[in-house]
Amino acid sequence: MSSTHSTYRSFDAEKIVETTASLERRIAERFGDAGLRKIAAELNQVAREAVVRSQAIREPIVSVRVGIWTVVIAIIALIGFITPRSKLDWHNFVQSSDFLQNFDAGLESFVLLGAALLSLVTVESRFKRNRALKAIHELRAMAHIIDMHQLTKDPERITRSGPSTASSPRRSLTPFELGRYLDYCSELLSLASKIGAVYVQDFPDPTALAAADQLATLTNDLSRTIWQKIMILDIATGPESQPASSPAEPRTTVAADTPREGASVPKLGG
């Protein structure tokens, strides 16, 4: 039983790859070679790269560690070599009128040396942090691109017909297709957030964790806007707009695209 429970205590990056691939196929089957399918394909590629990147972040960087400890040992050896040859008369040093000034200068030197050693020791962690932040930044950009794809998908155009202008976006989706399109956007945002969590799962760096949390907040906010459109569409068209013969598609995510408490969740299938 313990092995079964352990599978639900960590992210399996391979499962996320499978989920993004499944979502890409669903979008392709529904909308063909639309721009949203290309975004889904790119997100699937990012998920595959996350498997390799997160593994590299978890593992120690041997070359960096060897270089750091070589410099540290060299500094310690240099101090050990210079100190016995300084021929410092400690009695005269203590009795000197410049004792406090010399002591302050020596203390400052030791503090600076300690800071330099600490900076060297944390080089590997900072190197890994930069990798994680770069990957999470890519996911933030993708989240905004996904949101751009749903900006013109306005459900009010279905209930309020009016003249279009020369620059009006082309709207050819039926109410059912529009609902599925918006739902796919919400799922893509949720998956982008989950990919970001993969990078910090085994790398609990405070800065990287904060970036992953900010990504999750961003995708949740964007998804909330999409769910408002879905609920408007559901209220405007009613359940009769859903084709009875269309099989329901399984939802790939829940957390990032759950509507506010008390809101009625539209039953979109297929």
The mean pLDDT of 39-44, rounded to a whole number, is 96
Q: Which has more pLDDT, 252 or 21? A: 21
* CA dist., res. 58 & res. 204, Å (int): 10
pLDDT for res 60 = 80
* CA dist., res. 186 & res. 143, Å (int): 10
pLDDT for res 244 = 47
Amino acid at 9: R
pLDDT for res 245 = 46
Report yes or no: 219 and 182 within 8 Å, Cβ to Cβ: no
For 185, the token pair is 């956007």
Beta strands, E only, the chain: none
Q: Which has more pLDDT, 125 or 4? A: 125
Three-state SS for 164?
A: coil
The mean pLDDT of 148-168, rounded to a whole number, is 75
The mean pLDDT of 10-29, rounded to a whole number, is 92
The mean pLDDT of 35-47, rounded to a whole number, is 95
Give the lowest-confidence range in 122-126, 134-138, 180-184, 212-216: 122-126
**Percentage above 90 pLDDT, the chain:** 39
Regarding pTM above 0.85, the answer is no
- Percent helix, strand, coil in the chain, to 5, is 75, 0, 25
**Percentage above 70 pLDDT, the chain:** 64
